[in-house]
Amino acid sequence: MSQQVTTIIAWYKDYAKQSTNLPMNWLSLAQVQGSLPGLSLLRTGTEACRFDRSTGMPIWHTDGTYRPRPPTGSALYAIQVPPTGGDTCFADASRAFETLPIDTQRRLEGLEAVCSQAHHDALHNVKKPGTYTLMSPEQRMQMPLMAVPLVLTHPETQRKSLYGFSARSQQQRLSASVDELSSASIRAYEDPSVDELRSLLPHATGPELVIRWHWDVGDLVVWDNRCTMHCATGFDHQTFVREMWRTTFHDMSWQPPVRQLSRE
């Protein structure tokens, strides 16, 4: 295990001693950024992580916003890594929201995104055919369209964070019918409002809000999805292998402020 991970875990253990109830945001990026020794190392190369609207890259996202119960956090473990590239960038979604103009904050707080796994898979297949197997009608019934807030209040810190949109996700007019939205998901159609939201990503992923994790074999990183976005950087897929094990977890006391879109 690398010194970076050892430092984070040691910091967590020290932090936990001060609390009778272990907070589920114990690895929120906002807190780690102020507490982690060697932060300057994690800042190296973060300008390359900034979202580029002309290319749509890197693919910044929050895990599982299309699920009926989005995960509280995620953990990623490095099994095999390339010698260069394949890093993971993490952005402080709380600070990103707090540094937006006040009028933009107010506008976003009244909006929701329509998140759909069917749309995610269809869109990736448009960009790169064969990337995903398209979902069957039965699978789409099991993973319904979800309305997700664009601003999420963290239950532990009460800070507001950008949430529910990413470099490649579906945002649609909620005035459209569920049948229209479902059809849009299958066709990988994106409402023009998506581009308006993506215009915020260069700000939200600027180097002052991002750390970049260069993986070593055995590294384990855990983060809070309610206040963090992340993306992977590219590497030479033809020559090297990048094998990562990922899992997500839930704080069952937290009720995510999402809702299933119904035909009724």
Instruction: Say how far apart CA 217 and CA 83 lie, in whole Å.
Output: 11
**Taking each helix axis from N to C terminus, what angle separates 178-187 and 117-127, rounded to the nearest 10 degrees?**
30
Other beta carbons less than 10 A from residue 38's beta carbon: 10
- How far is Cα 156 from Cα 146, in angstroms, rounded to an integer? 24
Helices (H), 3-145: 3-16, 29-35, 39-42, 93-98, 102-109, 117-127, 137-142
Query: In terms of Cα–Cα distance, which of 158, 229, 157 is closest to 197?
Result: 229
* Angle, vertex CA 237, rays to CA 64 and CA 75, nearest 5: 30
In this prediction, residue 82 carries a pLDDT of: 94
Q: What's the confidence (pLDDT) of residue 135?
A: 64
Q: CA–CA distance from 174 to each of 104, 178, 231 (Å)?
A: 20, 9, 27
**Per the structure block, which two tokens stand in for 236?**
């030479």
pLDDT value at residue 122: 63
Q: What global pTM score does this model have?
A: 0.78
Please answer whether residues 226 and 163 qualify as being in contact, where contact means their C-beta atoms are separated by less than 8 angstroms.
yes
Give the angle 29-35-36 at the CA atoms, nearest 5°.
Answer: 80
Contact predicate 166/190, CB 8 Å: no
Q: Note whether 54 and 239 are within 8 A (CB).
A: no
Q: Rounded to whole angstroms, how far apart are CA atoms 52 and 55? A: 6
Q: Consecutive sets of 10 residues in the chain, 264 residues long: mean pLDDT of each?
A: 41 43 38 47 80 88 87 88 92 93 94 75 65 65 80 92 70 51 58 82 92 84 88 90 89 90 58
- Give the pLDDT of residue 19: 44
Q: Which two tokens stand for residue 141?
A: 């019934």
3-247 topology per CATH: Double-stranded beta-helix (3.60.130)
